[in-house]
Amino acid sequence: KRRAVVIDCEMAEAADGSDELISLCAIDFLTGETLVNNLVVPSRPIKDWRTDIHGIEVSKLYEAIMNQRALSGWIGARQELWKHIDDITIVIGQSICYDFEALRLVHTRVVDSAMLATEAVFYNRAAKKKPGRRWGLQELCKTFLGIEIRAEGGTHDNLEDVLAAREVVLQVLLKPARFQCWADKARKDF
């Protein structure tokens, strides 16, 4: 099993209004190797595919099904992920709680790049409270890393998003002073 894995999921809106998993991507945090990058057959009827957000069209899913590259529901996606992780693997992502919800997964060793940013900017150790502001991955990449993702208003791409979240966490670990400078500026700008 891998020591650390970065994940990202894309969801559609199910008929009952809740999120339904339709795509899973996972990479090895240390090497950047792609472990999983598959579409997922929804477990429930879909009301809104949200193609405008992630670019995944029903025709792409049908093609993946025909070529036997689609995972079978959230259960199949979670089983595929468990081939690469275990209970001691560190799972990394951006606002990862939503990915865990889609996968119906509970995990205790987690690094969330959105929470790293929020805590660096706002955590008040004396008051022990944190505001709800979170930086989206696109904004975090632009303001902290100085890189553009989803160029020209493009849709989310799982692989681009996991690589971007990986880069954010790597830079936080490798250049903590730079991250603190970013956090100080973000606090002043808020």
DSSP letters for 35-52: EEEEEEE-SS-EEE--HH
SS3 (DSSP) at 115: helix
The residue length of the chain stands at: 190
Predicted confidence pLDDT, tens digits, the chain (190 residues): 999 999 999 999 999 999 999 999 999 999 999 999 999 999 999 999 999 999 999 999 999 999 999 999 999 999 999 999 999 999 999 999 999 999 999 999 999 999 999 988 887 655 555 566 778 999 999 999 999 998 766 788 899 999 999 999 999 999 999 999 999 999 888 7
| pTM of the complete model | 0.93
CATH number of the domain enclosing 94: 3.30.420.10
Tell me how many domains the chain contains.
1
Q: Which domain holds residue 26?
A: 4-189
Helices and strands, number each (H, E), in the chain: 8, 7
SS3 (DSSP) at 8: strand
